[in-house]
A and B are shown apart, each in its own frame.
Chain A
Amino acid sequence: MERKLRITVGDKTREVTVQELGADGHPLPAAVAVAAIAAAPQRRPLDPKWSTIQRDTNERMSHMLPYLTRGSKVFQPADTVAVLNAVIRSGDRVNIEGNNQKQADFLSDCMCKLDPKQINHLHMVQSSVPLASHLKAFELGIAEKLDFAYAGPQGAAVAKAITLGKLKLGAIHTYLELFARYFIDLTPKVSLVCAYEADKDGNLYTGFNTEDTPLIVEATKFRGGIVIAQVNKIVDKVQRVDIPGEWVDAIVQSPKPFYLEPLFTRDPGLITDTHVLMAMMALKGIYAEYGINRLNHGIGFNTAAIELILPTYGEELGLKGKICQHFALNPHPTLIPAIESGWVQSIHSFGGELGMAEYCAARPDVFFVGPDGSMRSNRAFSQTAGHYAIDMFIGGTLQIDKYGNSSTATAGRVAGFGGAPNMGCDSHGRRHGTPAWLKCGEEFTDQQNLLGDVPRGKRLVVQMQETFQEKMASSFVERLDAWKLAEQAHLDLPPVMVYADDVTHILTEEGIAFLHRCKGLEQRMAAIRAVAGYTEIGLQAKPAETKSLRAAGLVKTPEDLGVDRRRANRSLLAAKNIRELVDWSGGLYDPPARFRNW
């Protein structure tokens, strides 16, 4: 028969554990017991003066408690608005998880059903605002202020809400910058996150789409905040504990799985011959020239074209094993042929890409796959990797000004940057050397002029951009639309995605401008004009000047690079459509319905 023994020392009483019993089944002598009690973890009652956050949270959670199923953290979908009403107070900083991939859409919808008379002036701090419901909270007067990184499809709605006085904009951040502020001055009080699975204790499986969850939960919970999760499924045992249940206060199984945007899927069918030409120039003029082995690719068709000519043109140039071995990159479907051909050693991902989960799980040598057999993405870590440990960022933009500053902001659209600027910049905290980084630094005339004889490297930041986009929109402009936007939306400064002093190369169909090799701003501007084609900037180029820039190796045309224009053809693509990507993957890639056009 089991007997419970209690021991009292001073004003403390507790049960005696088995370990504290002597061999004869009696408690150990008092002295030993006192020591055991002293050593046991005890929580002192907190001084109310120093625990206001915790007491406030406890008080709010007591209103939520009646909705939780007994013995668990689970509440019913129908009670979601009531739960949010219980824990959110006017003026709170609130985070709704959502980035450019997964979205806590059900919780966001429910937050819009709160009564704006009761709950208002919320300060939203969140990676992105791509859902209509994110903006609706502002239109309804529930939310008032926004600090974010990316708006995507809601860029126009954000601009409009600012103009109408419905939304006060804090700042447009990069992902890492915003994440950093969660731990300094923008810590959320309540965070609404999402996961694939939860158990009744709140352990979360975020899996392939782990993305921002660990960071949001850590920032919130360790400052006494409240974490509520919507999950696709409540299970007895989660596949893997990505977030410990102790850090999650309540969970709900959402009526529909969370929304997932296939943002990084590019249909090879839409890659043009011009993209192929530019991809050939990139491989010969930059990847091979610098031996780029650690990198990040933007999401456009230009970089998709590079990925797809690695197994063809890249192979022909003998570059396999010399370039493109380590990526900080989402699982781009267009990289499948290069992976399958043995080009890539490792890829760490910011997020999961819809349809790629099985493929990644089946390639654990390449992707970061857990002991449970599924990949784990993590935006904060991947952004950190992209900031410190890659030698090149290459990607597109919308506008480049005559100095080389670039922005995706256009008048009337507050699009944000997401993570691009964390990679599209030089990381000034970097101290380790690689051949590519050192070579670029050596060539960076203006930097070297400020350093004397001390060597320092430089990340390659390549803006790869056709001179004209759809509808004859010019990529090269006298002045960025970002200035106009800054005025309209009362921003502190024009939202620049990549600053001119960070850019090393501008690659257009006309050629590559090696900006970091130039001396001073005037020469940089001349090099930009030389590759700006028939745009207003390009038309200012003087033929004699362009000729001397080419002679000095500051500008290189396809002919200078030995790129044969006849071969700039879609036939160089290792896969010409989504169907061929599926074939390359051995059927493991499962493209979203909208890309299944066969």
Chain B
Amino acid sequence: MALNQLHFEFAPATPRAFPVAAVHYGVVGSGDMEVIIEACALAGKTQVTVTTPVTGFDHVWQLVLGRFIDESQLADAHISINDNNATPVVVSLRLRQALLEIGE
């Protein structure tokens, strides 16, 4: 299974720094994904790296991640996503659950 790496960067309007060192959530099962969020000095920005077997949905990733950052204003963080065919639904859910996990 060939994997692609996608990179995104977001600059939230009212940055809220990621409060803990790191959080890990989810499992790379079929139709699912894992996410690792790590604190990282990025001058108020957030970077995302997605590793996925899926091609041709870069714009959907952009939208899903963009909305997540928009809602959370997550800043100074690096997000790694290891995806195994998760739908946008699952991606949104896992990202929000990861934040809820640390009480955000």
Residues of A within 8 A of B (CB): 272-274, 277, 466-470, 472, 509, 533-534, 539, 565-566, 568
Contact = CB atoms under 8 A, between A and B. Distances in A.
Contacts of B96: 565
B92 to A, nearest CB: 8
Contacts of A470: 31
Given A467-B88, A534-B63, A509 B57 contact: no
Contact of A566 (B57, B60, B88, B101): B101
Interface residues of B, number: 17
A469 B88 CA distance: 10
A534 B97 contact: no
B63 A568 contact: no
B97 A566 contact: yes
Contacts of A468: 87-89
Contacts of A539: 63
A568 B57 CA distance: 26
A272 B88 contact: no
Interface of B: 31-32, 54, 57, 60, 63-64, 87-90, 92-93, 96-97, 100-101
A383 B16 CA distance: 55
B93 A568 contact: yes
Nearest to A470: B31
10 contacts: A272-B32, A273-B93, A274-B90, A274-B93, A277-B93, A472-B57, A509-B89, A533-B88, A565-B93, A566-B101
Interface centre among A469, A470, A534 (most CB of B within 10 A): A534
A270 to B, nearest CB: 10
Contacts of A466: 87, 89
A534 to B, nearest CB: 4
Contacts of A533: 88-89
Contact of B64 (A277, A509, A534): A534
Contacts of B64: 534
Contacts of B87: 274, 466-469, 472
Nearest to B101: A566
A274 B31 CA distance: 11
B50 to A, nearest CB: 15
Contacts of B90: 272-274
A451 B68 CA distance: 45
Nearest to A566: B100
A422 to B, nearest CB: 30
Interface centre among A274, A467, A566 (most CB of B within 10 A): A274
A274 B89 contact: yes
A105 to B, nearest CB: 34
Contacts of B93: 273-274, 277, 509, 565, 568
Contacts of A568: 93, 97
Nearest to B32: A272
A507 to B, nearest CB: 13
A273 B27 CA distance: 12
A46 to B, nearest CB: 66
B60 A534 contact: yes
